[in-house]
Amino acid sequence: MRKRREKGQALVEAALGLPILLILLLGAYASTRTAILRSRAESASFTEALRIGRNLPGIERDLSRSILPAGETVDVRSDREGKSRLLPAPFPLLAGRTAAAAEVRYPWREIGNPRWLATANILQKTELDADCWGKATSSGKSVRRWIQGVILLGAIR
C-alpha cells in the first residue's frame, strides 16, 4: 500500500511542478528577449541621433531591420531640437541638439502570439549634441563668420 501512495504522489508533484517550471521558462525567455530588443533599440536611436546631427543620409529602414529582421513593427525617427552651446561663450550657439527615438512593438510570434501575453512595447529615446561643421550648415557658417571677424579685427589692428 505504501508504494502506491508514493507513485501517486510523484504524479501529483509532477503535475503541479511542470506548469510552474514552464511559466518560469517563459518568463526567462520574455525578459531576455525584451532586454535584447531594448539594447538594440538604444543602439539604433543613438545611431539615428548621430546621423541626423551630422547631416548624413537616412538609414531608418536599415536601423529598423537591425532591431527586428522583418522591421514592420519598428519605428525609428529623429528630430532637431534647436541650438546648443558646444563651444565657449564668445562663439555663437550652434545647431547641434538632436533627438532620436526607436519604438518597437513585438507580438511574441515565436510562441504562437498568445492573447494573455502582452505585446512588448519598447520606446528608447536619445538626446545628444552632435554638430556638422560643413560649409553648408548653419553651424559651419556661424563659426566661419565669427573666425573671419576675429581675423579681420586682427588685421585692422
Q: Is the pTM of this model over 0.75?
A: no
Inter-residue contact 144 to 94 (CB < 8 Å): no
- For 55-103, the pLDDT digits (tens) are 778 788 888 888 888 767 888 888 877 666 666 666 666 666 788 899 9
Amino acid identity of residue 40, one-letter, is R
Q: How far apart are CA 131 and CA 86, in angstroms?
A: 9
| DSSP codes, 28-63 | HHHHHHHHHHHHHHHHHHHHHHHHHHTTPPP-HHHH
Domains of the chain: total: 1
Domain span at residue 60? 2-156
Per residue in 1-56, pLDDT (tens digit) is 455 556 678 888 888 899 999 989 988 988 898 899 999 999 999 888 888 877 77
Looking at this protein, which amino acid is placed at residue 129?
A: D
